[in-house]
Chains A and B, each alone.
Chain A
Amino acid sequence: MKKTGKLLVEFVVILLCLAYMFPIYIVLVNSFKNRQELYENRLALPQNFSFQYFVKAMEKMNFMRAFGNSLKVTVISIAIIVILASMTAWMLVRYDNKLSRFIFMTLVATMIIPFQTIMMPLMQVMGWVRDNLHIPMLNTIGGLIYMNVGFGASMAVFLYHGFIKTIPVSLEEAATIDGCNKFKVFWKIVFPILKPTTVTVSILDVIWIWNDYLLPSLVLSSKALRTIPLSTASFFGQFTIEWNLAMAGLMLMITPVIIFYLFAQKYIVKGVAAGAVKL
């Protein structure tokens, strides 16, 4: 009796989880249907699996290009954030004085500033830099990466700072005695120890940068530079009448995320949990 009860619970839980996945199911089944089939029944499985809408959607939204842009922005932004934030946090912990503490407190305090509060002046500042210093900050991938680094700085320094505080200084001292300079001490000794935090920072920033819409929409105006969210927004705006095509487009957009999730699930779950820190 107890055993069948437990089996029943397992069954109910799985059923509820599948119900939770219902929207994904809807996107998946409708992305294979032609227009008429979709209008006949939105819930049923497709009768014949036709990939032509994927191909069409891929062309219409320039999927490969958007994917490449997103990949470039995400990978380079994260690499820079990880390198700069880990170094900064290390110095802030090891040189514990009033200035370090002030810098750290400023970084943490600014985390509550909503993006909407600085988006307009930020665009003005970057426009000024473009006009007066002739550095192309707007409508370039480089400019977007620069701004991502600025926005990602606080959280990354905060996470590294918390971890570095727990590392005893003796190892670094021994290396210094052995003749290592600061750079070598950091890259050979400290940075490898920081790996768990590096994973956390990378995971959190992948989720944020890959899905970020508002900042790229303000920075990038050329069609050729569109990232995945930008391309989704413009594509979806055009094809709300052809739902099957729109669904194929959405399916394309979420597939890379799902694949990444299934491969890196262990790290994602850990990263998301470790990133939920208390201020």
Chain B
Amino acid sequence: MLFVFPLLFVFTTVVIIPFIIGIGYSFISWDGMPLNEKIFVGFANYIQLLSDSRFIASAGHTVIFTIFTVLLINILGLTFALVVTSKLKVRNVARTMLLMPYLIGGLILGYIWKFIFTDVFKFIGETTGLTGIFFSWLLNSKYALVAMIIVTTWQMAGYIMIIYINGIQAMPEDIIEAAKVDGAGFWQTLFRIKFPMIMPSFTICLFLTLSNCFKIFDVNFSLTGGGPNNATEMMAMNIYNEIFSLNNYGYGQSKAIIFFIAVAIITLIQVSITKKREVVMQ
């Protein structure tokens, strides 16, 4: 009892209770001022969501952002892992450098890249004359979204690389040797032998990148702030703005509940699909 109670108490007060009363908050209308009345509005908040074009747009940005970022992170992460597990002499140095961005944290990375996309890009454009590519990306709604994708990929690829490295190193050497003896080429070994065997790592990486990208906030906050004209506002940020900037506490909370349901559904579907495709090793 004494062993379990303290942690469960903290956990209950920080996660469970807020989660439950959060469901309650989603049915009321309230501006967050303690003295002002909380009015029960039933499902009105959820109905209002259906016609909230800014929220729907933020969901759209999140989906586009997530699809591209998940793909890029996994392609890049797996490529890095294959390079780093090769017999190259520079593999350890390479690994050190590639993991670095992940440790710095989204907020600071966003600020670093903000300087690059606005000021450094403008400078490069002016000096080289390539103003078609190098201009202030964060002022253009399409390029700002691309900037979000690039920064998040840059942050996460090294992290995902580490997980793929583990998967690759867990592969039994003799199977790969046997394939080589049987005359399998580089690509054949890669696609027919290596990829199926790293399926478990693939599940983990997809799961991690999918949920991390879908819930992105820090990079969004520091790099673009949702701009220009809310063109890069993701769902997490939309919820944050609705509650803490526009002071629609009840309405914002109903968005938060929908956000939770979306995250839960995506992760459950994704895990159940990839689990089926894993190779069973005897």
The docked-state distance in angstroms from the alpha carbon of A113 to that of B271 is: 16
- Report A-chain residues with C-beta under 8 Å of the C-beta of B218: 211, 213-214
CB <8 Å contact, A149 and B257:
no
Known pairs A91-B4, A116-B236, A153-B7; A250 contacts B22 (CB<8 A): no
The docked-state distance in angstroms from the alpha carbon of A7 to that of B162 is: 25
- Among B45-53, B95-103, B187-195, the one that faces the other chain is B95-103
CB <8 Å contact, A84 and B10:
yes
CB <8 Å contact, A9 and B243:
no
**Which residue of chain B has its CB nearest to the CB of A272?**
B162
- Report B-chain residues with C-beta under 8 Å of the C-beta of A103: 4, 8
The docked-state distance in angstroms from the alpha carbon of A167 to that of B107 is: 40
The reply on B282 being an interface residue by CB < 8 A is no
CB <8 Å contact, A14 and B14:
no
The reply on B252 being an interface residue by CB < 8 A is yes
The reply on A105 being an interface residue by CB < 8 A is no
Identify which of A18, A43, A182, A261 contacts B123 (C-beta below 8 A): A43
CB <8 Å contact, A24 and B100:
yes
- Among A50-58, A61-69, A228-236, the one that faces the other chain is A228-236
CB <8 Å contact, A276 and B208:
yes
CB <8 Å contact, B3 and A91:
yes
The reply on A159 being an interface residue by CB < 8 A is no
Shortest beta-carbon distance from A172 to chain B in Å: 13
The docked-state distance in angstroms from the alpha carbon of A269 to that of B158 is: 10
CB <8 Å contact, A250 and B112:
yes
The docked-state distance in angstroms from the alpha carbon of A127 to that of B4 is: 26
- Report B-chain residues with C-beta under 8 Å of the C-beta of A114: 215, 236, 256, 259-260, 263
Shortest beta-carbon distance from B16 to chain A in Å: 7
Main secondary structure of the interface of B (DSSP, over half): helix
- Report A-chain residues with C-beta under 8 Å of the C-beta of B244: 120, 218
How many of chain A's residues touch chain B, expressed as a range? 35 or more
CB <8 Å contact, A42 and B120:
yes
The docked-state distance in angstroms from the alpha carbon of A93 to that of B100 is: 36
Shortest beta-carbon distance from B114 to chain A in Å: 8
Known pairs A17-B93, A26-B120, A120-B243; A211 contacts B106 (CB<8 A): yes
The 10 closest A-B pairs by CB, nearest first: A150-B14, A211-B105, A121-B18, A84-B7, A121-B22, A122-B18, A118-B18, A87-B3, A117-B260, A153-B11
Additional 15 contacts, C-beta under 8 A, given A17-B98, A211-B108 = A9-B88, A17-B94, A20-B154, A24-B100, A26-B115, A110-B15, A113-B19, A113-B260, A113-B263, A116-B236, A116-B240, A116-B259, A119-B256, A150-B13, A229-B105
26 contacts between A and B (CB under 8 A): A13-B88, A14-B93, A20-B101, A42-B119, A114-B263, A115-B217, A117-B19, A118-B15, A118-B19, A119-B256, A120-B256, A121-B25, A125-B17, A154-B11, A157-B7, A211-B106, A214-B217, A236-B222, A243-B115, A250-B108, A254-B104, A260-B103, A261-B103, A269-B99, A272-B163, A273-B166
B residues neighboring A (CB under 8 Å): 3-4, 6-8, 10-11, 13-19, 21-22, 25, 34, 83, 88-90, 93-109, 111-113, 115-116, 119-120, 123-124, 154, 159, 162-163, 165-166, 200, 203-205, 207-208, 211, 215, 217-218, 221-222, 235-236, 239-240, 243-244, 249, 252-253, 256-257, 259-260, 263-264, 267, 271
A residues neighboring B (CB under 8 Å): 9-10, 13-14, 17-18, 20-21, 23-24, 26-27, 30, 41-43, 84-85, 87-88, 90-92, 103, 106-107, 110, 112-122, 124-125, 127, 129, 146-147, 149-151, 153-154, 157, 182, 186, 207, 210-211, 213-214, 218, 229, 232-233, 236, 243, 246-247, 250, 253-254, 257-258, 260-262, 265, 268-269, 272-273, 276-279
